[in-house]
Amino acid sequence: MRKRFVIAIDGPGASGKSTTAKLLAKKMKYIYIDTGAMYRACGLCSLEKNIDLKDMKALEKMLDNMEIQIKYSQTGNQIFLNGKDISSRIREADITKLSSEIAVIDIVRKKMVEQQRQIGKDGGVIMDGRDIGTVVFPNADFKFFMIADVETRALRRWKEAKDKGEKISLNDIEKELVWRDRNDSTRDIAPLKQAEDAIAVDTSDMTIQEQVDFILNVIKKGKRRKIYSFICTTLYFFMRVVWRLEIIHKERLESIENCIIAANHISAFDPLFIGAIIPGEIYYLAKAELFKNKLLDKLLKHVNVIPVKRGRIDKGAIRVVNEVLQKGHSIMIFPEGTRKATSVKAGIGKFALQLQKDIRPIFIKNSVDFWKCFFGKKRLQIIIAEKIKAESFSHLEDTKENYRNLASNVMKKILELENEC
Ligand code: CDP
């Protein structure tokens, strides 16, 4: 079953949370829960029942007899309090202030958080508020913290009020936001604050579309990362149990970053096997023909495979490899190019020399002998070498001959590793 995420968006008033969350929910076909509306509903209920916020007994009774319903629709949620539509009433200034006052009360928060967790327990939900990423769903799949300077936020609220025909000055709105920011972030229980693992989004100079696109992009990348790590973890398990994997010089894996990983190539599984043992994500090259299969196309893109057209110089692929390395990622390249090759290609030398990247030779053994490994006669072995530092070849001139020599040296180093098995 496809995993449906919990997405938490926190931040101060008018930072763009609800507009963004609404559009995201529509795009992702998720439910959108505006938790602020729930505290607003509590505030309104206490006002209608004339409850003193210091009277805990009365508040408890109110919470026990209060039913908040959220009806989801593409145009926005409708909020009902004991069956009555309160969607517009709760946006008025007196309720805005009251919501922040009632939200500091422990029993109120407990009740609301319980309901919010219940709504989000199966995922497929985007929840906005002040404490979603810190208290309600500390394990949310994605956490965002939206901010914007107070002048921008006040102007946004003022325009909203003006459009609704309300008469309120910009100055009063700004004062109210500043008061609420302070009240929400200095309270003892679940104060407004950015979760450590939340991504901050400053919307001061962003359009709504830019906000939505930014978040969608993060989710898309995160989704890929989750798939990548799931594939690697599953594969690693099989490599250990079925192939009886042995990694020689495992400690060297930790320092594999922003380099070219160079390995021998004997089986179609080699890139997968090597990728699965390396901590973090790396990039790979594969023949473009593989991407013709729709299923493979999807899968390969999720695991950072760059298609390469064979038989000629693929300028597009070269550009992508350059970009990947320049961005600080690592990429695996087989100096021999293909499995059946009899000679070393100059490509790896060209990338290393031109971009001055370290090279990490790796030797893989027995990846073709599945049954022998399975029956305990052999084992899959992967040997990690010390890195070849870019300093060691930085003096070389940028010539084809030097690319070829460097590539041959790398291949020699890889093959020497067999002696360490
Ligand atoms: O729409 P705006 O961002 O101005 O406010 P809201 O999200 O409707 O929230 C109204 C008030 O409810 C906030 O000022 C907070 O005091 C409180 N609140 C909270 O304490 N915890 C939440 N998860 C959501 C809102």
Give residue-wise pLDDT tens across range 135-165: 999 999 999 999 999 999 999 999 999 998 8
Residue minimizing CA distance to atom 1 of ligand 1: 13
Distance, in Å, from the CA atom of 213 to the CA atom of 345, rounded to the nearest integer, reads 41
Residue minimizing CA distance to atom 21 of ligand 1: 130
| CA distances, 335 to each of 53, 58, 260 (Å) | 73, 76, 11
Choices 3.50.50.60, 3.40.50.300, 3.30.300.160, 3.30.43.10: CATH for 6-222: 3.40.50.300
- Name which of 32-36, 95-99, 215-219, 343-347 the model is least confident about: 343-347
Distance, in Å, from the CA atom of 278 to the CA atom of 258, rounded to the nearest integer, reads 12
Return the ligand 1 atom nearest residue 104 CA.
20
Q: Provide the pLDDT for residue 420.
A: 82
CA 359 – ligand 1 centroid, Å:
52
Please state the rounded mean pLDDT for residues 317-331: 91
Residue 85, pLDDT above cutoff 90: yes
Q: Provide the pLDDT for residue 80.
A: 96
- Name which of 20-24, 341-345, 383-387 the model is least confident about: 341-345
CA 221 – ligand 1 centroid, Å:
29
CA 192 – ligand 1 centroid, Å:
9
- Name which of 88-92, 236-240, 312-316 the model is least confident about: 312-316
Residue of 17, 32, 33, 99 to test ligand 1 pocket, by largest number of atoms within 8 Å of CB = 99
Please state the rounded mean pLDDT for residues 213-217: 95
Residue of 34, 35, 178 to test ligand 1 pocket, by largest number of atoms within 8 Å of CB = 35
Question: How close are the terminal C-alpha atoms of the chain, in Å?
Answer: 42
Fold classification of 242-420 is Glycerol-3-phosphate (1)-acyltransferase (3.40.1130)
CA 36 – ligand 1 centroid, Å:
4
Q: Provide the pLDDT for residue 112.
A: 97
Please state the rounded mean pLDDT for residues 323-341: 88
Over pLDDT 90: what percentage of the chain? 78
Residue minimizing CA distance to atom 3 of ligand 1: 13
Domain residue ranges of the chain, discontinuous segments joined by +? 6-222, 242-420
- Ligand 1 binding pocket, CB closer than 6 Å: 13-14, 18, 35-37, 39-40, 99-100, 103, 129-132, 180, 184
Instruction: Please identify which residue in the block is written with the tokens 């070829």.
Output: 404
Q: Are 173 and 161 in contact (CB under 8 A)?
A: yes
Residue of 87, 100, 164 to test ligand 1 pocket, by largest number of atoms within 8 Å of CB = 100
Q: Provide the pLDDT for residue 2.
A: 56
CA 117 – ligand 1 centroid, Å:
17
Residue 421, pLDDT above cutoff 80: no
Residue minimizing CA distance to atom 14 of ligand 1: 100
Q: Provide the pLDDT for residue 74.
A: 63
168 burial (CB, 10 Å; 0-12 / 13-18 / 19+) is middle
Close Cβ partners of 245 (under 8 Å, ≥ 6 residues apart): 236, 239, 277, 379, 380, 381, 382
Residue 1, pLDDT above cutoff 50: no
Distance, in Å, from the CA atom of 140 to the CA atom of 162, rounded to the nearest integer, reads 36
Mean model confidence pLDDT for the chain: 93
Distance, in Å, from the CA atom of 388 to the CA atom of 352, rounded to the nearest integer, reads 10
Residue 182, pLDDT above cutoff 50: yes
Residue 223, pLDDT above cutoff 90: no
**What are the tens digits of pLDDT across the range 63-79?**
999 999 999 776 678 99
Residue minimizing CA distance to atom 9 of ligand 1: 36
Distance, in Å, from the CA atom of 375 to the CA atom of 366, rounded to the nearest integer, reads 13
Q: Are 9 and 146 in contact (CB under 8 A)?
A: yes
Residue type, 279: P
Residue of 15, 17, 20, 39 to test ligand 1 pocket, by largest number of atoms within 8 Å of CB = 39
Residue minimizing CA distance to atom 20 of ligand 1: 103
Residue 275, pLDDT above cutoff 60: yes
The string over 225-250, giving b where at least 16 C-beta atoms fall within 10 Å of a residue's C-beta and e elsewhere, is eebbeebbeebeeebeeebbbbbeee
Q: Provide the pLDDT for residue 309.
A: 86
